[in-house]
Structure 1
C-alpha cells in the first residue's frame, strides 16, 4: 500500500511541476514576442496571485536592461524578495487590510502611466482575495463577510466572481481602466476549469462576468440578499460604469488540463483522464469517482481535475479536497483490490488549513476510529482536517508557488 501512496504523492508533484509559473511564462514569451514600450516609455509590471513571485522573476529577467518598475502581490506563504520589485503579501482566502493596501499601491503605480508605457499584468489564481479593492461605501470587512456568506452557500467560482466583480474597483476589467491610456498585456495562469479569463482572479484584464443586476438576482435567488451587509446591498443597487473597457491582449500560459496531461504521461499507458471538470458539491463528485472506480477494468490510474464546492453545515475545519478525500474513504465500494485516492489543491493549500488535501485508502475510516474519532460525526461537522489528521492521511506539501485548481488521482492495485 505504501507504494501506491508514494506513487500518488509523486503524481501530485508532477501536476504542480507542470504548472510551474516561471517555466510556463518563459515558454509563452518565447512563443509570443513581448510588446515594447514606445520612446520614453517603460514597462510597468504588476504580478498578482499565488504564482506572482516566480512569474515576476521570469518577466524581470526578460526586460533586464530596459526601463521598468515592478510590484508583486502574493499570499504570505509564497512571499519572498524579488530583485527589482516591491513585494507585498496579503491574506488568502480571506482578504485582509494588507490586501487593501496592495490594491491602493497597484492603483498608485498605474495612475501616472502614459500611452508610451506598456503595462504587463501577470495574473494567477488567488488574485481575487489577495487584491481587495472595495467600491465606494463598502468596507473590507463587509466585502469579506459577503465572500464568506457565498462560500458557505456552496456557490461555484463563476457565481462568486460575479458578486466580487460588482463590488470591486479593479476586478472585472477595472485594472484596464486604472492603467489607461497605457496598453495592457496579460499573461494568465488559469486556476479555473474551462479557463474562462473573466473568472481567473476575477478578471482583472477582461470584461466582467455579468452586471450588478445579475449579481442581485443571484443573491436573491439563493436567499442570501437579506443576510448581506447594508453597504453591499446599496452598492449592488447602484449603476456601474458601463463605458467600453480599454482593449488588452491576454495570453493563457498554463492550466489544470495541462497538469492532468502531465500526470497521465508520467503514470503510463494504464492511466486515463476520467474528467477535467470535477465540479459541484463534493458528495456528487465522490459519487462520480465511485462510478469510475467500479468500471475501471484493467485501468490502474484514474485522473480527475476540477474544483468542487462544500456546503458548510458544521463548525469544523477543512477544505474541499480534504472533505472529498474523506467522503471517498468512507463511501468507496468494495473493489476487490487495494486502492489509494488523493485529492489536492495545486497551490498547496486547501481552505484555511496547513494541508493541500488528503490521501486516503480503505483503512482510513478504521484509523480514525482507532484514534478516538467518529468519521461520520466529523464529516457532518465539516471537520475533515481533524478526521484526516487522526488517520495520518493529510496531504501536506507546503506552498507550491503555483495554482491551477485541484487534481485527483485514484490508484488501483491488482485484482484479488
Structure 2
C-alpha cells in the first residue's frame, strides 16, 4: 500500500475541496453582499437539495422572519431547525417522500401576489428529492423512468432534459407556480459548466429543451422502449418548453471553486481538467494519460462528473469505477502514488462510500482476495472490489454537493 501519509494527504486535500463548497458560508456571503430589502408582502423561503438544511439555517440569520420556511433534503443531511418545516425525499431514485415534498413546494408558492417574495436555496440532488409528475404519470412510472435514466450512461444535462419534461416543478415549473411573486435563487452548482437549467433540474430557471429533444436522447441511448408507456406517451406530445419567467438566479458555489481551493493549498498542484465528463472509461484514459506524463513530485487535480452505463448487477458508483479503472491501468507506474476520486456530497451511487482511493498495490490486493478486477468492472461491482482492497473512500455525508473531485499525488 502507498505511504499512509500520502493517502492521508489526498484525503485532506479532498476535504479542502468539500470545505470550499460549504453551503452556509456561500449563503452568508451572498446575503451580506446583496441583502433582501424591506418589502410589504409575504416572504417564503424554500431550500431544496442535499445542502438544504445548512443553506436555510444560515439564510434565516440574515432575513426577517419568513411567512413560511421549508427545507427538503435526504435523510442523511436532515436535521430539525427552529421555524423550518422539514421534509425528507429519497436520492437518487425518488420515493413517496419525494412526491410529498414536490406537492409541498407547489403549495408553498400558491396564491402569492406581486408584493410577495420567494427565496429559493437550491443544491444538488433536488431532482429526485422533490417530484411532482405531470398529469397521467404515476409515482411508480416516474421511479421506473428515473432508474432507467441513471443506468443509461446519459450525462446529467441529458437526464435532466428528460426529467424536466415530466415534471410540474422542474425546468422553471416552481418559478411559474410562484407567479406573480418575485423569486430569487441562491444556487450551489453540482453541474459542470454551471448550466443553471440543470442544477436540481432548474426549478427557478427554465427547461434544457423540448420533449422532441428528450425523445431523441432516449432513442440514441437505446432506452426508449424501456421507458414506461405513459412516459413515452407524454413525450410524444412534443410540446414546446414554456416561456420562462424572469428570476434572480445566482451561483454561490461550484466545482471550479473547489478545484481552485485545492490548487491554492498545494505548492506543486496543477488543475489538469475541470470538465472530466462523459463515459467513465474514456475519463479514466484521460486521467491515465496525464498521470503518465507527470514528472517527479506533483499533485494533479481534476473535476467533473462522469457517466456509467450499467451492464451488470454489482454495487458501485462512477467515482469507485473511475478509481478502479485507473488502478488497473496504472499498475506499471513507478514511484509512490495515490489516486482519489470522490463525490463532494460524500456519496457515490447507492453506496456508503464517496468513491475510491487507489495506489499501485490496489490490483494485487484485490487479486490476493480472490477477485478478478476486470470481472469486477464488467459487473459494475467496483464497491466490493475496492472494499476487498481496503481502498474505499468513506467520509460520510458532507451536507454539500458540487460534483466530483479527482486527485493524483506522486511523491517519488
TM-score normalised per structure 1: 0.96
Contact 2:209 2:241 in 1 (8 A): no
Q: 2:163·2:170 contact (CA, 8 Å) conserved in 1?
A: yes
- For 2:218, the equivalent position in structure 1 comes to 219
Provide the rounded CA distance (Å) in 1 between the counterparts of 2:308 and 2:380.
Answer: 9
Q: 2:391 aligns with which of 385, 389, 393?
A: 393
Match of 1:288 in 2: 286
Comparing 327-336 with 85-94, which one deviates more in the overlay?
327-336
1:243 to partner: Cα distance: 4.8
* Native 8 Å contact 2:343 2:404 kept in 1: yes
Q: How far, CA to CA, are the matches of 1:135 and 1:183 in structure 2? A: 24
Is 1:203 equivalent to 2:202 in the alignment? Answer: yes
Partner of 2:62, secondary structure, is helix
5 Å-filtered alignment, 1:13-412, equals 13-36=15-38, 38-39=39-40, 41-64=41-64, 66-238=65-237, 240=239, 242-267=241-266, 269-332=267-330, 334-412=332-410
Taking only aligned residues, the RMSD between alpha carbons, in angstroms, comes to 1.3
| Aligned-partner Cα distance in 2 for 1:5–1:221 | 41
| Contact 1:35–1:118 (8 Å) recurs in 2 | no
Give the distance between the partners of 1:82 and 1:411, measured in 2 at CA.
Answer: 40
For structure 1, list consecutive stretches of 5 or more residues without a partner in the other structure.
none
Contact 1:345 1:403 in 2 (8 A): yes
Q: CA deviation at 1:241?
A: 7.0
Report the Cα distance in structure 2 between the residues aligned to 1:301 and 1:223, rounded to whole angstroms.
Answer: 39
Aligned position for 1:3: 5
Distance 1:245-1:368 versus aligned 2 partners, 3 A rule = same
The CA distance in 2 between the partners of 1:288 and 1:221, in whole Å, is 24
Aligned length: 410
SS of equivalent residue, structure 1 residue 258 = helix
Q: CA contact under 8 A between 2:297 and 2:411: conserved in structure 1?
A: no
C-alpha offsets along residues 296-349 of structure 1, whole Å, 9 cap, x if unaligned?
A: 123510000000011111100000000001111111152321110000000000
- SS of residue paired to 1:62: coil
The ranges of structure 1 where at least 4 consecutive aligned residues each deviate by more than 6 angstroms after the TM superposition are none
Q: Distance in 2 between matches of 1:67 and 1:308?
A: 39
SS in 2 for 1:63: coil
Contact 2:207–2:241 at 8 Å: present in 1 too? no
Greater displacement, 225-234 / 345-354: 225-234
**Structure 2, unpaired ranges of 5+:** none
